[in-house]
Structure 1
């Protein structure tokens, strides 16, 4: 393996939604000691790092993405000592630890916002504007979670901007003191031994200082589920080109500490994907929404995304098919039948772990877990409550990890904060550990192949012209070459028989790939 590249380039990062990972004390909620207890399992997968969902204190109106204290640990998850113990143990096993930092906004219970609300010295740390003369919102910006992206504060006779819930006021990164305070959060945790960060909505740190309206999206929201905010192109409340310089400044804070990594969540606009990270500007890497919002199997969404990234040839991407906000891959790309979920899960894992970039694997993806089907009464997610039944929220991908047989499938001895999914009963870690044909076994084989290959981790990617539904590309580095082929359909298709098969899933015959089959061969 090459040693001259930074550790994160081509690495695989395992994304842990802490509240649903493993409960160590029976209170029904996953916690940091629970992650520590499962560290051997994580290491056995063959990943390089873990990314923890937000661990800071929060009133949990958006489950940790509304931070009330950046320098503490959420009591539900444990203590600062528990976090340090996890970091130390992970480092001893050769795993890096990344935190999820939410710096575009805070909770309305954060001390900074309470001071701003009272007109104190931090009064300009958030984005404020007067209402129009008729009492309506300052502009047409819409919140992702519904309604105008402004909330009126009678005490100040002004409205404050919130891109999500009204309890998540937008931090004003144009204020030098607010920006310095946000950057100091990163510096603090780097000093505690954290190896880097995923930055939530990093495309939305800056807003248009003239508060100009967002333009209309010509597709009228057709590219995503039908939130009203999707009827706009978010060019003025987020995605500003000048955001790159700000992200570059953020990266320099991280670079002051050797061997660290910062990546971010970027634009939902395809033409801007890849524009916020490079070797010389912006963050180290980032991921964008096209791969996450795709819902139809086929080569096109991969080909188009990499064509979009090609506009920024120096960009190093993060590649992700699902996360804590996105329906699980096995269900999203399946044909709707339970019989398709395992073949689709394996196919998409083979594709994910063959692509060029830093790979983000969401907990349970290695098990091929399908989306949980919850009732409205079971939901804890404000998105599901707002948009039911058109959009059932994000809890279907946030249910507890199934570890084994018995009570709550081994997740907790108490009442889980979200119900354990009946769909996951046959997919527990214990059951898959005993099955050499399991999705878990295939995941480990894929990760071992990636870990052992400079071409798969670091190499160039060149797509071959292939008729749909076949997706084919080569990965190469030095003298090493791989051919990666994927049948993105439920029908058999013609494929090349070149090279020596190293890994495969599904039915593979001479010159053909069966339904949802994949073949990785060394040339």
Structure 2
């Protein structure tokens, strides 16, 4: 057996997680909005991928100002998605297939239609300080903090005659975590959901819950983030949450933490840290941004490798990585990091190979497994996301509304808009990609006739079938727990690395060599002299490849190869962790 001890194991380390954005996954009632019934109808599809858990984006009661991340009632299901009986049926259908269910936890902010905020604006008893309020004049902002969605992070409330803080949309007021009553209410809600049988939480912008209490201005050229990202009491709050609610290693607690460094991350996930399972860090999906996300350059592979290697090595001995290249907030990975034209399928497979062979837990975003791409948004009226609509409105204002103003920013919109991730899941070549029998809330990508699940199922060389192989490959301890070493760091086209796992008593070391060509042209990888290739065998590739590696590997465009030592356990189960619910 491998040298991994039972204490080092956890189900979520050995898992692959599938992310479902329900509004765009499948519509069961024909109203054009995806719902829980649609997810239930597709549970077998999820199970066939071989994944171990589903992360379900918010389905709570919400006015949908930010697609469900503005929650009006944490303990109710929004009518657009169904009801609590539908949710319970989904939970049961997943659990019957040994697939765990992870819920979104959005507690930096609520909707302004939440009962807490309604009472707070009336200064109703204990709720008066549930949010961040600043007295003043309606024409004098409390400070210069900016909203993530553009503009000031403060809005004036006529009813209370005070300013309230919203780091996101004005309909998403920030909770005041300095108030212990707020924290107690949040923990009680979390316990309620755990009592309903969920298996963990994905915690939205959890590193933004602590704000500098005197609300100082930001520094020069700052939006104030230094006063609310990784704020002064954030580790007190997160540590308390873990102690009060999440002190169970079987519960997955993954925190979304924009702006963290590796050193910051250790404070959240290390053995002596706050106790979170892992983080979603953003460095590898923001490094190409300019002044803002819509001012992005083409990703530079050398820098991309440097960042990923830094995180692999930085959390290797004290923490755990999450692995993702796209999600509901990011453009489609094959359009951003791959090549979505001639080499769409090969580059989609290559990128999946990367996320499934690095150290950490892979997160697969719906549609990634069939190679879905960014979509064309020919008019600004086709856009739905609040962030991109605000950006376009600002750009048009700057252009004084001239007729071609949208065309001036269209390329940036189509490259980086969150709407790219939210076009309907492409099931068939029927109308609206088989997503709905009605009019979809957002248009399907026109390429659904070519890129869809039905077609992928029938094609043994499809991205979908390759992803099933990737998920199965993750059963090797080597690819979960093995050490990482980057090779050829300065090569502008090749991403190559080894994974190494020392064996237990009387066992040899297991090794992997992964080589990925991030280019439209063929290339050759000269394997370094200190890397052993003897004993390695081809485990997976997205093109014809030699069964064993030589010292020089000739790779075609967007070719991916994974070479491994034979499995010494022949996949015999010998783990002390609970692999079934």
2:376 counterpart of 1:373: yes
Identify the residue that residue 18 of structure 1 maps to in structure 2.
22
2:315 counterpart of 1:278: no
* CA apart distance, 1:372: 1.3
Specify which of 518, 521, 544 is matched with residue 488 of structure 1. Answer: 518
Identify the residue that residue 337 of structure 2 maps to in structure 1.
333
**In 1, distance between residues paired with 2:199 and 2:352?**
26
Farther-moved stretch of structure 1 (411-420 vs 101-110): 411-420
Change (3 A) 1:507 1:467: farther
* CA apart distance, 1:459: 2.1
Could you state the TM-score of these two structures normalised by the residue count of structure 2? 0.83
Choose 1 or 2 for highest CA Rg: 2
Change (3 A) 1:258 1:517: closer
Residue pairs, 1:347-362, within 5 angstroms = 347-362=350-365
Farther-moved stretch of structure 1 (501-510 vs 195-204): 501-510
Counterpart contact for 1:214–1:237, Cα < 8 Å: no
Identify the residue that residue 422 of structure 1 maps to in structure 2.
446
Tell me, what secondary structure is at the counterpart of 1:75? coil
Tell me, what secondary structure is at the counterpart of 1:98? strand
2:100 counterpart of 1:81: no
Identify the residue that residue 462 of structure 1 maps to in structure 2.
485
Identify the residue that residue 240 of structure 1 maps to in structure 2.
231
Specify which of 466, 476, 493 is matched with residue 442 of structure 1. Answer: 466
Tell me, what secondary structure is at the counterpart of 1:315? coil
* CA apart distance, 1:467: 4.1
* CA apart distance, 1:256: 4.4
Change (3 A) 1:252 1:269: closer
**In 1, distance between residues paired with 2:249 and 2:484?**
29
Identify the residue that residue 250 of structure 1 maps to in structure 2.
241
Counterpart contact for 1:297–1:333, Cα < 8 Å: no
* CA apart distance, 1:268: 2.1
Identify the residue that residue 290 of structure 1 maps to in structure 2.
283
Identify the residue that residue 497 of structure 2 maps to in structure 1.
473
Specify which of 248, 255, 260 is matched with residue 251 of structure 2. Answer: 260
Deviations 1:268-317 (A, max 9, x none): 25465524222342211111112223551514213224315644541212
Residue pairs, 1:150-189, within 5 angstroms = 150-189=154-193
Identify the residue that residue 126 of structure 1 maps to in structure 2.
131
Aligned length: 507
* CA apart distance, 1:36: 1.2
* CA apart distance, 1:89: 1.2
Counterpart contact for 1:101–1:198, Cα < 8 Å: yes
Looking at both structures, which has the greater relative contact order when contacts are Cα pairs under 8 Å and sequence separation is at least 6?
A: 2
**In 2, distance between residues paired with 1:241 and 1:320?**
28
Counterpart contact for 1:508–1:517, Cα < 8 Å: no
Identify the residue that residue 506 of structure 2 maps to in structure 1.
none
Farther-moved stretch of structure 1 (468-477 vs 386-395): 386-395
**In 2, distance between residues paired with 1:308 and 1:481?**
20
Specify which of 305, 309, 312 is matched with residue 306 of structure 1. Answer: 309
Identify the residue that residue 409 of structure 1 maps to in structure 2.
433
Counterpart contact for 2:12–2:252, Cα < 8 Å: yes
**In 1, distance between residues paired with 2:162 and 2:312?**
40
2:539 counterpart of 1:502: yes
* CA apart distance, 1:513: 1.6
Query: Which runs of 5 or more structure 1 residues have no equivalent in the other structure?
Result: 218-230
Query: Which runs of 5 or more structure 2 residues have no equivalent in the other structure?
Result: 289-297, 393-405, 504-508, 528-532, 547-551, 566-581
Change (3 A) 1:369 1:207: same
Counterpart contact for 2:145–2:224, Cα < 8 Å: no
Counterpart contact for 1:57–1:67, Cα < 8 Å: yes
* CA apart distance, 1:501: 1.1
* CA apart distance, 1:490: 2.1
Specify which of 191, 195, 205 is matched with residue 195 of structure 2. Answer: 191
**In 2, distance between residues paired with 1:467 and 1:489?**
15
**In 1, distance between residues paired with 2:384 and 2:350?**
31
**In 1, distance between residues paired with 2:495 and 2:441?**
40
Counterpart contact for 1:29–1:76, Cα < 8 Å: yes
Specify which of 553, 556, 577 is matched with residue 511 of structure 1. Answer: 553
RMSD of equivalent CA atoms: 2.1
**In 1, distance between residues paired with 2:245 and 2:510?**
33
Change (3 A) 1:318 1:139: same
**In 2, distance between residues paired with 1:315 and 1:508?**
35
Change (3 A) 1:241 1:8: farther
Change (3 A) 1:267 1:343: same
